[in-house]
Structures are given as C-alpha cells and as structure tokens.
Amino acid sequence: MPKIRAARVIVTCPGRNFVTLKIETDEGVYGLGDATLNGRELAVASYLTDHVIPCLIGRDAHQIEDIWQYLYKGAYWRRGPVTMSAVAAVDTALWDIKGKIAGLPVYQLLGGASREGCMVYGHANGTDIEETLDRAQEYVDQGYKAVRLQSGVPGLAATYGVSGERFYYEPAKGSVPDETLWSTSKYLRHAPKLFERGREVLGWDVHLLHDVHHRLTPIEAGRLGKDLEPYRLFWLEDATPAENQAGFRLIRQHTTTPLAVGEVFNSVWDAKQLIEEQLIDYIRATVVHAGGITHLRRIASLADLYQVRTGCHGATDLSPVSMAAALHFGLSVPNFGIQEYMRHTPETDAVFPHAYRFERGLMHPGEAPGLGVELDEALAGTYAYKRAFLPVNRLEDGTMWSW
Ligand code: GCO
Ligand code: MG
C-alpha cells in the first residue's frame, strides 16, 4: 500500500494568495489539493499543519473515503469553511495520487466521461451597460456559449463584480476591508435594463447569467426574477443569503427564472432543504469549500434525484488545482449543468502548469494521470503571502449589509 510519508502546506501569492497541500507517499508519488479560503487563508493553513497533517502520516493513501470520514467525524467539530477546506485539500490530493498510481486521469476513476467537455461561463463586467456588453461580445467571439453580465449601477460608486481590469476581477485587497455602499432600489431599477439591452446586442443564442451576490431579501429577489423573465436567464445566482433555506420558497412562488446558489456552502446539510424541496435549479458548491471531490459527489447525487444540476464556483480565488478537480468532477457527473471559469492571470498559470484546456466554449481536464496540475515550488517561493480582505458592504445610511 502507498503510505503517506509526508505532507506540507505551500502558501504563495502570484497576484493573489493560494494555499496548496502537497501529500507525498513512501513510493515517491505526490498529490496536490487546494485549500484556499479567500481572506482567511492562514486559518486553513494552520488547521492543516497543526491539526491534520500529523494525523495523516503512515496512513494508506488509497483509503480516500476512510480518511475523509476520519477527518470529518474524528474532529468532533463538524462542518464550517475552515475545516471543510482543509478536508477538501486532503481529499483532492489523495484523488490526485490515486490517479497517478493508476495511470489514469481522475475523471476515469469517477466513472469516465459523461460528455465531451464542460460548458463554462465567462465574466463580462463594465462600469456601464455598453462596456459590459462590449466585453460580453468578446467572450462570444472567443467561442463562449455562456456569459455572466455584471455592470456598475448608476448612483453607486462601486458594486460587486465590476473592476477596472478588463478580464480579471479580484475583489480581495487592502490591509483592512474596503467598504462599499449599496442601494437595493437603484440596483433593482438598473438590472433589468442590462438584460434587455443584453438581448438586443448579443441575441438569443448565448446563455446569460447574473450574480446578485446575496444582496436582496426573498421578496425583492422574487421581483427581480419576475422582471428578468423576458430575457430568459440561464440562472440568477445568490439572490438572497441562503442560511434560511426556506426563504427560497418565497422566491420560487414568484418567478420561473432559474436559481443558483451555494458557492459559500461547505456541506450537503447547507443544501438539503433547497434540493429536496426543489427550491433551486443549480447547486454551486465546489470541490475546495465543500469537502473535496468525495463530498461534492455526494451533494451532486442528492441533487440528481431532484433534477438539480451542478454549477461549481470557479472564481480566481480557487486555484488551478480546484479548477482541474472541478473539471474531472464535471466531466463525469451525470447532472452537470455549467462550470464557472474566471481565468487566472499568467503569473498564476505559471506557478500551476496544468493540462486542462478551453475549446469552443467547453473545458476539458486533459488526459494526464491524476488531476493534471503541477506546482512550480521554486517559482511559488518567490511570491510571499500578502494579507488581503474581501470588501464589506453597507446601506447608504451606514447599516451593515451583505457584500
Ligand atoms: C462568483 C463569486 C466570487 C466571490 C469570490 C469570493 O460567483 O464567482 O461570487 O466572485 O465573490 O469568489 O471569494
Ligand atoms: Mg457568486
């Protein structure tokens, strides 16, 4: 049996922070797992180094399920983003090792390909509607079949999803969190105009998506969903915070716009009611924050019973290791919906050389054994960790709100 001989955490910042777990076996095979939790990176690094790695040494690297249960049940303290990101990193690294030993890409271990590739969506954003649509057209020209539209809102200095950068959106920065101001009424007046004009300019052959980023109440979300119905969105994402899963009933009663939620979920329990009551159409839980490939498959299996499809989170704060894992998962899972693809910068791609590729709107994880991602440790070592925070958001009268 391949015994776990060593494991260590590598923190690097090629433009943004990434935490990577590297597990090595006594036979010299190694696997990588992403453990990046945006704005809280070192908490996961410590959880792994101080509390997980000492328990892994000497274990059979092939026992992925048993090690998952050992880390989940054995900690006594269950769930939570820090814990589950750490468990995810171990799980992902072990799938990588198993694939390398088998000489097969991970998707083959998960049952093989269920499709030719994973449809991805790109991010088009601009300070106003026309700028957003110019960028969306560039995605369409590059072959994307689906594009997310976010635009600045008149009267608001900044909003989620809009950056000065042409193709990269990186909200984490600063020695303390940036503060932004939010107005629900201004946003609700503006968002339908973006999609009305979006259909005029882009036509009907491209899927359009939108992220509300947890800023509405359920009844406001119902109103927005209704206003957007004529433009046939692929999905409306995170319309309201989802701690109260029953809150989505109210949205559902008022609109047929498909709903996606779950990028902050870390366990099947966060989504159980949403799925069982068919309150959502797409589940956005992802490998790194929801307990790895092993647990994400469990969530997807529950979702499949209720015709809920996957739509994994894939922002730039998820490393190329997560992207690869998501693509192996997405290629194999029966109820795949779509995969988010926010391209990494050239600096990040150089630190994590990878086998996955984009072709005509679809992505494929490649045929390299394991996940097909490397970590150039020498290059990673040249980028020191930089503390960075996600912004916080307030209403115009100063009330704390969800960002
Ligand atoms: C998305 C997300 C991201 C998150 C970010 C937080 O849909 O891609 O909402 O933009 O804000 O990943 O770390
Ligand atoms: Mg989102």
CATH of the domain at 358: 3.20.20.120
* 343/161 Cα distance (integer angstroms): 14
123 is catalytic: no
- pLDDT, position 103: 98
* 262/281 Cα distance (integer angstroms): 11
In contact, 195 and 226? CB cutoff 8 Å: no
Is residue 99 domain-shared with residue 147, that is, in the same domain?
A: no
What are the DSSP calls for 185-229, one per residue? HHHHHHHHHHHHHHHHHH-SSSEEEEE-TT-S-HHHHHHHHHHHG
CATH of the domain at 89: 3.30.390.10
* 28/385 Cα distance (integer angstroms): 28
Is residue 93 domain-shared with residue 116, that is, in the same domain?
A: no
The single residue listed with the structure tokens 């997980």 is 52
- pLDDT (tens, 9 = 90+) of the chain, 403 residues, equals 999 999 999 999 999 999 999 999 999 999 999 999 999 999 999 999 999 999 999 999 999 999 999 999 999 999 999 999 999 999 999 999 999 999 999 999 999 999 999 999 999 999 999 999 999 999 999 999 999 999 999 999 988 888 767 667 888 988 899 999 999 999 999 999 999 999 999 999 999 999 999 999 999 999 999 999 999 999 999 999 999 999 999 999 999 999 999 999 999 999 999 999 999 999 999 999 999 999 999 999 999 999 999 999 999 999 999 999 999 999 999 999 999 999 999 999 999 999 999 999 999 999 999 999 999 999 999 999 999 999 999 999 999 999 9
For the beta sheet containing 392-395, the strands, ordered from the edge strand earlier in sequence to the opposite edge, are 179-182, 392-395, 400-401
Ligand 1 atom nearest to 39, measured from its CA:
13
- Cα-to-centroid distance, 124 and ligand 2 (Å): 13
Residue 385 included in any domain: no
Is residue 75 domain-shared with residue 145, that is, in the same domain?
A: no
- pLDDT, position 195: 98
Ligand 1 atom nearest to 169, measured from its CA:
10
In contact, 363 and 339? CB cutoff 8 Å: yes
- Ligand 1: which of 317, 342, 389, 393 to mutate, most ligand atoms within 8 Å of CB? 317
> Does the C-beta of 213 come closer than 6 Å to ligand 1?
yes
End position of a domain, from candidates 64, 87, 105: 105
Token readout for 319 is: 């490393």
Q: Write the burial class of residue 58 (CB in 10 Å: 0-12 exposed, 13-18 middle, 19+ buried).
A: exposed
- pLDDT, position 166: 67
Domain hosting 145: range is 109-368
* 216/255 Cα distance (integer angstroms): 15
Token readout for 118 is: 């994973």
Q: At what angle do helices 320-332 and 81-102 cross, to 10 degrees?
A: 70
* 330/134 Cα distance (integer angstroms): 29
Pairing of β 282-283 and β 259-261: parallel
Is residue 211 domain-shared with residue 251, that is, in the same domain?
A: yes
> Does the C-beta of 263 come closer than 6 Å to ligand 1?
yes
Q: Which ligand is nearest to the CA of 341?
A: 1
> Does the C-beta of 41 come closer than 6 Å to ligand 1?
no
Token readout for 367 is: 């045929």
For the beta sheet containing 30-34, the strands, ordered from the edge strand earlier in sequence to the opposite edge, are 4-12, 18-25, 30-34
- Ligand 1: which of 36, 165, 211 to mutate, most ligand atoms within 8 Å of CB? 211
Report which DSSP code applies to 132.
H
> Does the C-beta of 315 come closer than 6 Å to ligand 1?
yes
In contact, 386 and 21? CB cutoff 8 Å: no
Is residue 176 domain-shared with residue 238, that is, in the same domain?
A: yes
End position of a domain, from candidates 48, 75, 105: 105
Residue minimizing CA distance to atom 6 of ligand 1: 38
Ligand 1 atom nearest to 38, measured from its CA:
13
Token readout for 280 is: 């959502």
In contact, 310 and 303? CB cutoff 8 Å: yes
In contact, 256 and 282? CB cutoff 8 Å: no
- Of the candidates 207, 210, 213, 354, the residue annotated as catalytic is 213
- 100 backbone dihedrals φ, ψ, rounded to 5°: -65, -40
- Ligand 1: which of 16, 283, 313, 338 to mutate, most ligand atoms within 8 Å of CB? 313
341 is catalytic: no
Ligand 1 atom nearest to 238, measured from its CA:
9
> Does the C-beta of 38 come closer than 6 Å to ligand 1?
yes
If one counts every other C-beta atom within 10 angstroms of the C-beta of residue 305, the result is 10
57 sits in which H/E element = none
Residue minimizing CA distance to atom 2 of ligand 1: 315
Token readout for 286 is: 């992802």
Ligand 1 atom nearest to 314, measured from its CA:
8
> Does the C-beta of 220 come closer than 6 Å to ligand 1?
no
Is residue 84 domain-shared with residue 123, that is, in the same domain?
A: no
- If we measure between CA atoms, which residue out of 304, 17, 343 comes closest to residue 148? 343
- If we measure between CA atoms, which residue out of 268, 267, 280 comes closest to residue 239? 280
Residue minimizing CA distance to atom 12 of ligand 1: 315
Is residue 39 domain-shared with residue 10, that is, in the same domain?
A: yes
- Of the candidates 107, 160, 187, 383, the residue annotated as catalytic is 160
As for how many domains the chain has, the answer is: 2
Is residue 172 domain-shared with residue 296, that is, in the same domain?
A: yes
Is residue 214 domain-shared with residue 316, that is, in the same domain?
A: yes
- If we measure between CA atoms, which residue out of 55, 117, 136, 121 comes closest to residue 90? 55
